[in-house]
Structure 1
């Protein structure tokens, strides 16, 4: 493998190092916060006070005092309790992905792909899109970075199709199709996401064409002023500026329905300006009684971003429009013929369909037959941006199994939704395809991680260390509630999930009562004073939970590292994979799940 970033044997040694460390430390990550007080987790795992732990973690000191017992990674060899936090901190840092030195820098990957494919960036749009015009700041950081890598993979493999699994709202798909002229198929299991992506892509396509026309016109005449730039940057701001986790698709659609009539009318007007022949002008249904000259455009027209982005020549050369019902048959035929001729001149015939984003709704697994979903499928690059749970390993398995998939770029997330092949005792679960482990190497060792540990892997250490913090009060409330449930109600009831009760509660007493009602338990069994007494009893021990969860945060990169190294090992074990690497694509402060698995099969003749 001429361009491999690391040999398989070297990778296995790194995996062994991580597993050796986690075999000692993983028990902390697998402790459940809900059981924190009922099982007295602190005293079971820790041989020091919480204040000592927090001091060592916050200061990052190398030594607070030599332990008086033999330790392994800071854990006492006899009691198995943590007695040396600085030693644990050093070990965790050394066994994270940066500490292991297994990642390829993004710039180095791009250089490698340029060498392999003699990259010339053919097909890229002349004018770069400004992603913050229609995305949140997080997506505006992620999408261009990943799109550049995906485009380089497509050029290296000499393909023009991209398949995005778990495409969600379609940000990456739209950007790839508009910026790099790729034919993109976005597959998502949610029909709601697919419908939302179709509507959003329609708007972005119209905006992009208008934006490109305006840029072209301005380059030939004059530089757009600040007011015009501001209007571009505000396009679709209501819909796209908020972070993704704060705008579920159904909320966006509800908001769109609320303002839909007015917005659709404005959008349709802008689309008509782009598509009608020069001797036509579209007027809204409310304005059919007469037409307006360009100088008579209202403030609403001017402020609308779709109008503002239109090239001035389109707006100024408009003429009154006669309703279709009043046109003669000959006139309708003439205009239809002119429209077809204009589309042909502008290259908007059949060939333009190659550069479209096509959202599809389907539940995808490694066994999915892509050709049944995509009838026009050719050789393609498969991508996934923050694919959830088992979808990320399924993406890699599809890439390996299907010859038409020439390259893959996968960024996973939601590790707690991964399925595991083995249990804690090394026993194999029911037959089937599981998300972890993927590699033959870890399967032979019956590697087990655990759901709580995988959930810990989702914690964002970089954000916490710069003051992001953890939702400690909600975790504290849930742990104390568990004590109440075990003291006063059937034990099996306490295992049921409470859900997001905390966000609606005004106090601990209110929280408990809401939780009891959700669990269908008798809330009148306890008085307010009894409930409050539990809070007052355990509040002095909240520092234990804070310190313990900080240790989980510290271990998070190591657990994530093991999962990602397993995926990389899987690709390196495949004979038909020519190149594979683990690449940091994003800034972890902006996007905590920042690592991509990149793989490529033997490229075509160079």
Structure 2
């Protein structure tokens, strides 16, 4: 599928299909795990055994159009509204995910079309691969920055612009890479001053070592131009050294996002996290990041107290500091400062020219923008003529505000995050917070053996039974927090949780608490099976949210091209889809 090749009428039919499926199956996604036993969730929604559900989920055979049972829709009984045919809902969930609806394009297809639009290549020409910033950041972030920067650079070339505005820029990884690798002028906007300060310092180090790398590269090219008898040996030794630098695998990192209210303390890493790189990607830029990984880490050498320095050393350091500050002061006003971190809370109504005095036509980007910030980014793109293209990857769907939810809270600035499109607004479409929370689950990771924290969920659900039975004044909306990770047993968990909730635990002996665990332990399979059904529905809920955003762009007269693109490997980065648009 080519960029912008999905007709709006076809997209409308796909959305209608997704809405119809979810209107029936959302009851499962909206059931809260905390209430699993107090409200007897399993019997309320499922007319099958947990073993039957788990067996169907673990089966690899979900293909084919098997005949649906009589008086059912997508496996749900039309009369009782309970799930009776597990295989049917699994087939329907697969068909109504983004991959099943066939509405996405791949990164390679997008880049090929952008280069054709730019005139960089002709049809059928091989694409160059983007440099892997393997040692600059952790594995997950490196994977995301590589793909995202490739798209942003392609959009900038296509629109003939040199400025990029990164909304929710966080620690500035994407901004720094875009400025250093592609020579783009990047403005990173984040509401956290801690993030922007850390990003500024990181960018200073990047610029310093970028200059050193370019100097070394010129020297290397000069040496290679001279004939040498031992050239092959020297090249082989250099290659082996590079291989050793990037040879350590790193574990799967924690999911991250760029949030309007995120406040993250920037702590310098004491050790560079190294990723295994594809040998086919070892182009010139990789050497810069290999060099960077050894240079930007915190210096662990013992520091000498100023009182122990000689007078000559003190004078030398003063002179160097003065010279450095002078150089930085001169460069701040020059075009060499390609990345400018800014601290500001932004909405679609934000006047960018008040933040960026030298604003030109630009590409707007957002990498894992949290909650309503993702739809605000798309609204900003529509409203600001100077924004020529957009690439938005959202996350944290549970933090989205919904206009038509019966229990909705007031939306910020009166504008809600879902739905965006007039098409779904006319249907008063909504999902519900628990369903949006389910949309954050990672089907690919669970399928690959990632698993779910089932014991902690089980402990919390049984705790809720105890709270119902013994604490009449307890409010169910109170949160226990991360108590499970610190506990050694169920009894310990309950006592810690009661203290966290400021409830008297002295009236509950250990044996009473343990009896609750024994009473429900044989029903833990119900919870496991139910949560696996939630995981199965996750891509469908995420799909509807993203299709709404894509349809919103297609409704805009000033947007000429729009597409939903899979940018990342979902095993490395579960929130892997981007909305891309060009005016």
Q: Same fold (TM over 0.5)?
A: yes
Contact 1:136 1:241 in 2 (8 A): no
Counterpart of 2:92 in structure 1 is 91
1:588 lines up with 2:570 in the alignment: yes
Residue 267 of structure 2 corresponds to which residue in structure 1? 253
1:464 match: 446
- The corresponding residue for 1:550 is 532
Kept in 2: contact 1:426–1:447 (CA 8 A):
no
Q: Which residue of 2 aligns with 1:108?
A: 109
Other-structure match for 1:243:
253
Structure 2 SS opposite 1:495: coil
Instruction: Provide the residue aligned with 2:33 in structure 1.
Output: 33
Deviations 1:370-391 (A, max 9, x none): 1111111111000001100000
Name the SS of the counterpart of 1:225 in structure 2.
helix
Higher helix share: 1
Kindly tell me: are residues 424 and 246 of structure 1, through their superposed partners in 2, closer, same or farther at Cα, counting changes over 3 Å?
A: closer
Q: Aligned match of 1:163 in 144, 147, 165?
A: 165
Q: Which residue of 2 aligns with 1:453?
A: 435
Once the two structures are superposed, residues 289-333 of structure 1 have per-residue CA deviations (whole angstroms, 9 ceiling, x without a partner) of 599xxxxxxxxxxxxxxxxxxxxxxxxxxxx99738899xxxx99
What SS does the corresponding residue of 2:418 show, helix, strand or coil? coil
Q: TM-score scaled to structure 1, two decimals?
A: 0.80
Partner Cα distance (1:420, 1:324) in 2: 57
Q: Tell me the distance in 2 between the aligned counterparts of 1:128 and 1:547.
A: 42
Equivalent in 225, 230, 233 of residue 238 of structure 2: 225
Residue 113 to residue 379, structure 1, CA distance change in 2 (3 Å):
same
> What is the correspondence of 1:421-460 to structure 2 with a 5 Å cutoff?
421-424=403-406, 432-460=414-442
Q: CA deviation at 1:86?
A: 0.9
CA deviation after TM superposition for structure 1 residue 559, in Å: 0.3
The answer to whether the Cα contact below 8 Å between 1:103 and 1:583 also exists between their aligned partners in 2 is: yes
Does structure 1 retain, via aligned residues, the 8 Å contact 2:140–2:252?
A: no
Alpha-carbon offset, residue 244 of structure 1: 5.2
Paired residue for 1:396? 378
Gaps in structure 2 of 5+ consecutive residues: 123-127, 224-233, 271-291, 297-303
Structure 1 counterpart of 2:513, from 518, 528, 531: 531
Q: Output aligned runs, 1:269-288, within 5 Å.
A: none
What is the Cα-based RMSD across aligned positions, in Å?
A: 3.8
Matches within 5 A, 1:270-419: 323=316, 351-353=334-336, 356-419=338-401
Q: Which has the larger radius of gyration?
A: 1
Tell me the CA shift for residue 582 of structure 1. 0.4
The DSSP-based 3-state class of the residue aligned with 1:387 is: strand
* 1:22 corresponds to: 22
Counterpart Cα distance in 2 of 1:350 and 1:92: 55
Q: How far apart are residue 490 of structure 1 and its match?
A: 2.2
Q: Is the 8 A contact 1:426 1:446 kept in 2?
A: no
TM-score by length of 2: 0.83
Q: Flag the 1:577–1:286 CA change in 2: closer, same or farther, 3 A.
A: farther
Which residue does the alignment assign to 2:279? none
Matches of 1:16 and 1:564 in 2, distance apart?
Answer: 14
* Alignment check: 8 A CA contact 2:401 2:411 kept: no
How many angstroms apart in 1 are the aligned matches of 2:36 and 2:82?
A: 16
Partner of 1:313: none
CA distance in 1, matches of 2:148, 2:449: 27
Conserved? CA contact 1:416–1:451, under 8 Å: yes
Distance 1:120 1:228 in 2: 35
Counterpart of 2:581 in structure 1 is 599
CA distance 1:250–1:364, shift in 2 (3 Å)? closer
State the Cα distance separating 1:494 from its structure 2 match. Answer: 3.0
Residue 80 of structure 2 aligns with which residue? Answer: 79
Q: CA deviation at 1:353?
A: 2.8
1:556-597 superposed Cα distances (whole Å, 9 cap, x missing partner): 000000000000000000000010000001111111111000
Shift, 1:208, TM fit: 2.4
- Measured after TM superposition, the shift of residue 69 of structure 1 is 4.4
CA contact (8 A) 1:194 1:359 kept: yes
Q: Distance in 1 between matches of 2:151 and 2:87?
A: 38
